[in-house]
């Protein structure tokens, strides 16, 4: 026979106070009561090994203390670092992170959005551009759910947003290659690029308007396959639109008997940890990935507490990290 589940009534009986008093104290409103009363309730809770019922507590407090986070590909080190930044802030504020990895699948992302809504999360962090504005309108905006978009998706004036300065990042990458004397350059990027990547490209094209565009899936495998297309051109340098593509280029060039930076200078984007562990170490544009996650989580929690406040859009700076994958054109 199973042991009887300890309830809030049992705690009230043991401590000699009302159920309402126990509820208030256990939900953090202990300032209304004397230290002696609070001590009695907490002692009774400990003696009885009472654990609050999650769903009952949610009905009372109207909050789940849970935030849904949607990312397109958790295997990309960018997103794993981003989630660490988000989770750190949420944990500190006693919120649980519910992570949904969509595997770059549009239907999966939309399904997750609807499922998180049914589960009653307090807010949403959307780090993917594949979720349509229509889905956001129907699932979140019409129901007044707090949410925030970041990195790949523009807020369009209907939510908070945290972005990084992609235009400056693309421009910095181009200026670096130009200073090294490169005249003919290529950009490796996905064919249906997200808005942040398009902005990155526009920044690069302010210096190299005739840059050769080579399309590839945004992964190490995509970069590896793109290497063959690069060597069929007359370029001497490549801007990989993210570090994952750059790592793929490393292997692709090696398989074709080409060396970095002797045959091709390569510059990436993001500055994930692996940049320092490849040979030669990768020159790249660094995004403040961890800070991006922290800022996003903090802004969303502000929205959860103050849903009526004005929309905010924050843009974080980027910087060039010079290593050894780029060199002066001989």
pTM for this model (two decimals): 0.80
Residue found by looking up tokens 């990547």 in the block: 197
Q: Report the relative pairing of strands 313-316 and 160-164 from DSSP bridges.
A: parallel
pLDDT at 208: 98
Cα-Cα-Cα-Cα dihedral of 162, 164, 166, 167, to 10°?
90
Of 26 and 48, more confident: 48
Residue ranges of the chain that CATH labels 1.10.260.40? 8-61
Q: What b-and-e string marks burial along 93-132, b requiring 16 or more CB atoms within 10 Å of the CB? A: eebebbbbbbeeeeebbbebbeebbeeebbbbbbbbbbbe
Where is average pLDDT lowest: 42-56, 89-103, 240-254, 287-301?
42-56
Whether 151 shows a pLDDT value over 90: the answer reads no
Whether 52 shows a pLDDT value over 80: the answer reads no
Whether 125 shows a pLDDT value over 60: the answer reads yes
Distances (CA, A) of 221 to 53, 97, 216, 252, 256: 47, 30, 9, 9, 15
> Do residues 130 and 104 make contact, with C-beta atoms less than 8 angstroms apart?
yes
pLDDT band (50, 70, 90) for residue 157 = low
Of 284 and 141, more confident: 284
- CATH placement of domain 8-61: 1.10.260.40
Whether 138 shows a pLDDT value over 80: the answer reads no
Residue ranges of the chain that CATH labels 3.40.50.2300? 66-163+289-316, 166-287
pLDDT at 104: 65
Average pLDDT of span 60-81: 83
pLDDT at 1: 39
pLDDT at 321: 98
pLDDT at 62: 58
Please give the Cα distance from 147 to 159 (Å, whole number).
7
Whether 71 shows a pLDDT value over 70: the answer reads yes
> Do residues 167 and 199 make contact, with C-beta atoms less than 8 angstroms apart?
yes
Average pLDDT of span 182-195: 94
pLDDT tens track for 205-261: 999 999 999 999 999 999 999 999 999 999 999 999 999 999 999 999 999 999 999
pLDDT at 64: 75
**How big is the CA angle at 96 (ends 90 and 100), to the nearest 5 degrees?**
100
**How big is the CA angle at 289 (ends 314 and 122), to the nearest 5 degrees?**
65
- CATH placement of domain 166-287: 3.40.50.2300
Fold for 66-163+289-316, please state it: Rossmann fold (3.40.50)
């Amino acid at each position: 026979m199973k042991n009887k589940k300890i309830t809030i009534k049992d705690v009230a009986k043991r401590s000699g106070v009302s159920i309402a008093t126990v509820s208030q104290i256990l939900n953090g409103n202990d300032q209304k009561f004397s230290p002696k009363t609070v001590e009695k309730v907490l002692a009774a809770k400990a003696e009885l090994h009472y654990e609050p019922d999650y769903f009952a507590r949610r009905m009372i407090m109207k909050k789940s203390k849970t935030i849904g986070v949607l990312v397109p590909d958790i295997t990309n080190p960018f997103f794993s670092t981003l989630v660490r930044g988000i989770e750190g802030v949420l944990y500190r504020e006693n919120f649980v992170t519910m992570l949904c990895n969509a595997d770059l699948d549009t239907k999966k992302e939309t399904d997750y959005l609807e499922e998180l809504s049914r589960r009653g999360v307090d807010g949403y962090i959307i780090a993917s551009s594949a979720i349509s504005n229509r889905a956001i309108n129907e699932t979140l905006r019409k129901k007044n759910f707090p949410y925030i978009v970041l990195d790949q998706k523009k807020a369009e004036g209907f939510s908070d947003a945290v972005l990084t300065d992609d235009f400056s990042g693309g421009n910095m990458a181009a200026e670096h290659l130009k200073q090294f004397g490169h005249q003919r350059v290529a950009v490796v990027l996905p064919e249906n690029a997200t808005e942040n990547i398009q902005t990155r490209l526009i920044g690069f094209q302010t210096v190299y308007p005739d840059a050769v565009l080579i399309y590839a899936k945004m992964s190490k495998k995509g970069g590896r396959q793109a290497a063959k297309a690069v060597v069929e051109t007359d370029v001497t340098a490549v801007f990989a639109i993210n570090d994952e593509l750059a790592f793929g280029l490393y292997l692709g060039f090696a398989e074709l008997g080409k060396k970095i930076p002797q045959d091709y200078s390569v510059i990436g984007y993001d500055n994930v940890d692996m940049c320092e562990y490849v040979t030669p170490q990768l020159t790249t544009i660094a995004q403040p990935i961890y800070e991006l996650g922290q800022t996003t989580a903090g802004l969303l929690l502000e929205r959860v507490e103050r849903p009526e406040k004005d929309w905010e859009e924050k843009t974080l700076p980027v910087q060039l990290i010079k290593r050894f994958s780029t060199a002066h054109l001989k």
